[in-house]
A and B are shown apart, each in its own frame.
Chain A
Amino acid sequence: MSAKKYLTRMGDASQCEMTADEIISDIKDATADAAKKGKVDPLTKGEMDFIADVIMAPDTMVSVAPGKSVVSTTDIGCYKMLYAAGVPMDRCDEALVRERGFCGDSTDFGYEDYSFKPTKASVDTYEAKQMQNVLDRTTMPVLYGAMPNLGLYTKPDGPVGNWNELLPAGKIKEAREAQEQAVEYAVKDIVYVAEKMYDMGADGINLDTVGAAGDADMLASLKAVKIIKDKMPTLGIEMGMAGEFVLGIHGKLEYNGTRLAGLYPHKQVKLCEEVGCDIFGSVVNTNCSKSAAWNYAKVATLTKPCVEAADIPVHANAGMGVNGMPMSLTMPIDMVTRADKCLVEICKVDGL
């Protein structure tokens, strides 16, 4: 008799069937690979069995045990109803829906472009007032969210050299200098926007997808957070990452003696703490070509040591393409809830 097959998914959300042996094999493979790359311990047998049980659970939706619930928040500026769900809704209304309809514990609120550089131009005249509208109508904490998005500072969009062009041309020194210049521009913009939002009464600021443009992107964020925390100590700061390790596009950048390139979540979080972040948004990228079991095991292997190392709350990013969530516009609830359960019960994250 052939082995029983369980309906599960791949990282791109496509359905597949796997036997228990195949699921366990993927989990073992993923945890060994992630442990080697992140230089952390692999999952224990108990944790691997837990993931296998979660994958093989017969229910469409799974949940955490009573008492293990965590807080939830959202990012991308209150545009999900409009752009993801196709419901024509103003972002101020969406903030209310998130609070009163979806029972969110907090949200971020942001400009359509969702980057600090373009936000700067309208923060005084428009964004701050919109933030005030939201703050007046909600009771949950509202953070102003945007991405450092260092690429916007490169030619032709910005003033500094484009390292994507300089590096292939072998101009490594020039590419590094361009990144260092972009850091300074980005720091000014992030701090400027934070000051305006602080003046308006925002509960916090959310730096999203930090490190997306590499180690310089992270350096800009760390420097900005340090300045913001020194100037405005009561403004809450969340820093959410873009990937499981910081891409070394510069390669030599350091913060207080720590080389940024190649840092995995358990080390990223310590730097975030050092500069004054209040919440760390951990990220482990989903591999579309691997199974859900493989992805959950990789996420758990890299996220658990991050939470253990952290002295601040860790809110794992549970959005498309990261932390076990599939790379799919419509995320199937079976995969989302299973990823959440692993994040909460194995990794002990504080929020999603």
Chain B
Amino acid sequence: MENLLKKASDAIMDMDEDATKEVLDEAIASNFDLKQLLEKGLSVGMTELGEQFSAGEVFLPELLTAAEIMQNATKRIETELAKSGISATKKGKVVFATVNGDIHDIGKGICCSLLKTGGINVIDLGRDVPAETIVDKAVETDADIIAMSSLLTTSMHVQQDVCKILEERGIRDKFYVMVGGAPVTQRWCDKIKANAYTENATECSKVVSDYIASIS
């Protein structure tokens, strides 16, 4: 069993689509627990790749390639689980923006890329986006999560504005609010009463996945 999990993890880390397919074939043929294969095999490989990305050892195109293989594998697992009457997990919808007064969107772009390849429906509002627009779009699209990035100390307050607008409109509990960016900290997240702070794209992807899983 451990051998199959390791094979799955290695296949993702090697960005090897054929090897991933073979592992899935083997797991399905031997009635292996596919949820376990996903959580303790394939996902372990993605997590390790994410850590290597954070350390500058793996780069964005490679990470996206692996994520796409992961996405295809997840789809196949979900199809197989559905045959046994197990419903597919909710994918979730994220409205993502670099806030008003800030045009630094490289970090947001990386986060959006990872989320999209992870099967999350991302509505990328771009950069320099006013607080009202972020809230309006989240309501309009019935998003689960509002994610905001800010590289400048001078634009961070827009993240707070979004939380305030949500409170004023009485819809604060409808959205899980995530904040990030170089000057952003857990303390800032706590201060503005956002739900989560993440330091980098891989962490962002994990927190989004965990939250979506928790509401599924």
> A14 is contacted by which of B55, B57, B182, B187 (Cβ under 8 Å)?
B187
Q: In the bound complex, do residue A168 and residue B60 qualify as a contact, i.e. CB atoms below 8 Å apart?
A: no
| Shortest distance from the beta carbon of A112 to any chain B beta carbon, whole Å | 15
Q: In the bound complex, do residue A167 and residue B64 qualify as a contact, i.e. CB atoms below 8 Å apart?
A: yes
Q: In the bound complex, do residue B105 and residue A164 qualify as a contact, i.e. CB atoms below 8 Å apart?
A: yes
Q: In the bound complex, do residue B61 and residue A175 qualify as a contact, i.e. CB atoms below 8 Å apart?
A: yes
Q: In the bound complex, do residue A168 and residue B113 qualify as a contact, i.e. CB atoms below 8 Å apart?
A: yes
Near B by CB (< 8 A), chain A positions 166-186 give 167-168, 170, 172, 175-176
Q: Given contacts A167-B109, A170-B117, A321-B183, is CB(A329)–CB(B153) below 8 Å?
A: yes
> B116 is contacted by which of A168, A175, A244 (Cβ under 8 Å)?
A168
| Shortest distance from the beta carbon of A88 to any chain B beta carbon, whole Å | 19
- What is the chain B residue whose CB lies nearest that of A164? B109
- Asked if B142 CB lies within 8 Å of chain A CBs, one says no
Residues of B within 8 A of A36 (CB): 55
- Asked if A146 CB lies within 8 Å of chain B CBs, one says no
> 0/1 per residue, B53-93, Cβ < 8 Å to A?
00111111110110010000000000000000000000000
> B106 is contacted by which of A164, A175, A252, A288 (Cβ under 8 Å)?
A164
Number of chain B residues whose Cβ lies closer than 8 Å to a Cβ of chain A: 30
Q: How far is the CA of A294 from the CA of B64 in the complex (A)?
A: 31
Q: In the bound complex, do residue A261 and residue B56 qualify as a contact, i.e. CB atoms below 8 Å apart?
A: yes
Q: How far is the CA of A197 from the CA of B186 in the complex (A)?
A: 45
- What is the chain B residue whose CB lies nearest that of A320? B153
| Shortest distance from the beta carbon of B158 to any chain A beta carbon, whole Å | 16
Count class of interface residues, chain A:
35 or more
Q: In the bound complex, do residue A248 and residue B56 qualify as a contact, i.e. CB atoms below 8 Å apart?
A: yes
Q: In the bound complex, do residue B56 and residue A245 qualify as a contact, i.e. CB atoms below 8 Å apart?
A: yes
Near B by CB (< 8 A), chain A positions 261-314 give 261-264, 285, 287-289
| Shortest distance from the beta carbon of A35 to any chain B beta carbon, whole Å | 11
Q: In the bound complex, do residue A12 and residue B56 qualify as a contact, i.e. CB atoms below 8 Å apart?
A: no
| Shortest distance from the beta carbon of B8 to any chain A beta carbon, whole Å | 22
Q: In the bound complex, do residue B60 and residue A251 qualify as a contact, i.e. CB atoms below 8 Å apart?
A: yes
- Asked if A207 CB lies within 8 Å of chain B CBs, one says no
Q: How far is the CA of A167 from the CA of B65 in the complex (A)?
A: 10
Residues of A within 8 A of B186 (CB): 289
Q: How far is the CA of A196 from the CA of B121 in the complex (A)?
A: 48
Q: In the bound complex, do residue A168 and residue B109 qualify as a contact, i.e. CB atoms below 8 Å apart?
A: yes
Q: In the bound complex, do residue A172 and residue B61 qualify as a contact, i.e. CB atoms below 8 Å apart?
A: yes
| Shortest distance from the beta carbon of A260 to any chain B beta carbon, whole Å | 10
Q: In the bound complex, do residue A168 and residue B68 qualify as a contact, i.e. CB atoms below 8 Å apart?
A: no
- Asked if A234 CB lies within 8 Å of chain B CBs, one says no
Residues of A within 8 A of B154 (CB): 329
- What is the chain B residue whose CB lies nearest that of A242? B106
Q: How far is the CA of A37 from the CA of B200 in the complex (A)?
A: 16
Near A by CB (< 8 A), chain B positions 104-153 give 105-106, 109, 112-113, 116-117, 122, 124, 153
Residues of B within 8 A of A151 (CB): 106
Residues of A within 8 A of B124 (CB): 168
- Asked if A246 CB lies within 8 Å of chain B CBs, one says yes
Q: In the bound complex, do residue A262 and residue B56 qualify as a contact, i.e. CB atoms below 8 Å apart?
A: yes
- Asked if B195 CB lies within 8 Å of chain A CBs, one says no
Residues of B within 8 A of A321 (CB): 182-183
7 interchain pairs, CB-CB under 8 A: A170-B64, A170-B68, A172-B65, A175-B61, A248-B62, A251-B60, A263-B56
B interface residues (Cβ-Cβ under 8 A, vs A): 55-62, 64-65, 68, 105-106, 109, 112-113, 116-117, 122, 124, 153-154, 182-188, 199
A interface residues (Cβ-Cβ under 8 A, vs B): 10-12, 14, 36-37, 151, 164, 167-168, 170, 172, 175-176, 212-215, 244-252, 261-264, 285, 287-289, 321, 327-329
Q: A36-B55, A244-B56, A252-B61 given. 13 additional CB < 8 A pairs?
A: A167-B60, A168-B112, A172-B61, A213-B106, A245-B56, A247-B60, A250-B59, A251-B60, A261-B59, A285-B182, A289-B199, A328-B183, A329-B153
